Structure 1
Amino acid sequence: MIRLHHCHETRSMRTLWMLNELGLEYELKTYPFDRTLRAPQYLSLNPSGRVPTLEINGEVIWESGAITEFLAENHSPDRLWRRPDDPDRADWLTWLHFAETISQHTAALTQQHVVLYEDWMRSPTIMKIEARRLEKCFDAIEGRLSTPVENRDYLLTSGFSAADISVGQAVYMGRHFARIEPYPELCKWYERITDRPSFQASLPPDDARLYEQEFYEPWPENRPDDAESAGAATGRAG
């Protein structure tokens, strides 16, 4: 039995894509993006109160990178995994976990643009800094894909792997806050991997998206209503 605990357009989408790519049968338990994950019943599975959580054959795994490694090693050792003696092993591990570097900047931007419910809580400075950090991540991917290697269609010389899934999902989220159009090789790679049926099957319904906008521009410093917002904030603080 495989059960994935999932919120749309979060890191658990990475696991959902993996399951679809592997063609495994699974049960999907979907949660709203709110405090539901803090319920005692869920915390008994995942003490961090986050997604993904994967129940698989009596085991519970609740860290997305660990889940990806587990699924690749146990269910796709010759395609999505790279064995310890494989020449691409070190690169596989590097890119697999680089997805989390991308995701941490996206998480900060998601908090600023989506989660915080009052304008006075948001910081234009954080928005601009984190968006720039995302661009630096895109620089790294563009550099990798621009390396003059024959048949450089994917992050690894040996072809498509779980690393493409992990980084691809992170870029899917990050592109809401930093544009990928200035990166031609990244764009071609992203189009290639997101054209896969396994990715398409992992997308949320239109009425269940976390990101209501296709792109969120950083706010300018010293917005016209900043003084009013600051006054409101002061009033709330008492």
Structure 2
Amino acid sequence: MITLYHVPQSRSMRVLWLLNELDVEFRLVEKPFDGSLRTEEFLIRSPAGRVPALEIDGERMFESGAMVEYLCERFPERGIGQLPGAMDRMAWLVWVHFAETVSQHVAALTLQHVVLGADGSDPTKRIEVAQLLNCYAAIEARLSTPVENRDYLLTGGYSAADICVGQAVYMARHFAPLDGFPEVAAWFERITERQSYRDALPREGSSRMYDRDFYPPPAG
């Protein structure tokens, strides 16, 4: 049995999206975005008190990138991973883990806007937004590469790399819009049309990290 511990709109959403795409049986345990992740019971599953946490046949994992690699290797028949030796393996690994480059800037902005509720012209916020725009530019450059079938991050088509980076962009759009990045915007619209993505969105009445769709950058 697979059990995913999940906070809606957090990094655990990428693992939920992946599990939906893999079409495997799993149990979802939703946690609120509060101090309950620091309880002794949850720290057994995730020592840093963060989501996602994943239990598979009695074993535990607590890093989303590792979960993505493991799940794609465990269920290769879905074809959205790239096993060792595959042509796209190197690019797949790069983009799966690039999601964390995006997410670290999102995390800093989430801390300031949501957790601390800080307002004003904090220069750190402007720097983090600028870093997100740099990340968008990197994705835009990848998607603009003049090769056949660049509708997705890999030449071979849709994969877990799109899930990971797409989920990071989902969070990032709360702080930095996709204006000026037409290829990223078109790609994001393309991958979020999938039912697996829609089923990973917060359910009606569930806890959320973000109480608004967009947090504008500070003036100045």
Q: How many residues align?
A: 219
5+ residue gaps, structure 1: 222-238
Q: Distance in 2 between the 1:77 and 1:134 partners?
A: 34
Please list the CA deviations of residues 130-152 of structure 1 after superposition, one character each: whole Å capped at 9, or x if unmatched. Answer: 00000000000000000001121
Report whether the alignment pairs 1:144 with 2:167.
no
Alignment TM-score, normalising by the size of structure 1: 0.89
2:165 is the counterpart of 1:167: yes
Does the 8 A contact of 1:22 with 1:76 survive in 2? no
Deviations 1:34-90 (A, max 9, x none): 110000011111111000001011211110000000011111256111122112111
2:166 and 2:191 in contact (8 A); partners too:
yes
Partners of 1:118 and 1:184 in 2: CA distance: 31
Cross-structure match for 1:215: 214
Task: Decide whether aligned partners of structure 1 residues 133 and 166 sit closer, same or farther in structure 2, where only a CA change above 3 A counts.
Answer: same
Could you tell me whether the CA contact under 8 Å between 2:52 and 2:63 is conserved in 1? Answer: yes
The correspondence for 1:180, drawn from 178, 192, 202, is 178
User: C-alpha distance in 2, partners of 1:88/1:53?
Assistant: 28
Determine whether 1:114 maps to 2:114: yes
- Residue 16 of structure 1 aligns with which residue? 16
Note the alpha carbon deviations across 1:86-141, whole angstroms, 9 max, x for none: 1211100000000000000000000111110455xx76211100000000000000
- Superposed CA deviations along residues 186-219 of structure 1, whole A, max 9, x for unmatched, are 1111011000000000000254332122111111
Q: Which amino acid aligns with 1:34?
A: D
Structure 2: distance between partners of 1:109 and 1:67? 25
Correspondence for 1:54? 54
- The answer to whether the Cα contact below 8 Å between 2:149 and 2:156 also exists between their aligned partners in 1 is no
Q: 1:135 aligns with which of 133, 136, 148?
A: 133
The structure number with the bigger radius of gyration is 1
- In structure 2, C-alpha distance between the alignment counterparts of 1:108 and 1:117, rounded to whole Å: 12
* 3-state SS, counterpart of residue 44 of structure 1: helix
Opposite residue 134 of structure 1, the aligned amino acid is L
Matched-pair identity in %: 54
Contact preservation (8 Å) 1:112, 1:123: no
The list of structure 1 runs, each at least 4 consecutive aligned residues, that deviate by more than 2 angstroms after superposition, is: 205-209
Partner of 1:227: none
Superposition map of 1:194-205 within 5 A: 194-205=192-203
Partner of 1:54, secondary structure, is strand
**Which consecutive residues of structure 2, in runs of 5 or more, have no partner in the other structure?**
none
Amino acid at match of 2:89: R
1:114 is paired with a residue of what secondary structure?
Answer: helix
Amino acid at match of 2:164: S
CA contact 1:135–1:178 (8 Å) conserved in 2 = yes
Contact kept in structure 2, 1:6 and 1:29, CA below 8 Å? yes
Residues in 1 aligned to 2:110 and 2:118: alpha-carbon distance in whole angstroms:
14
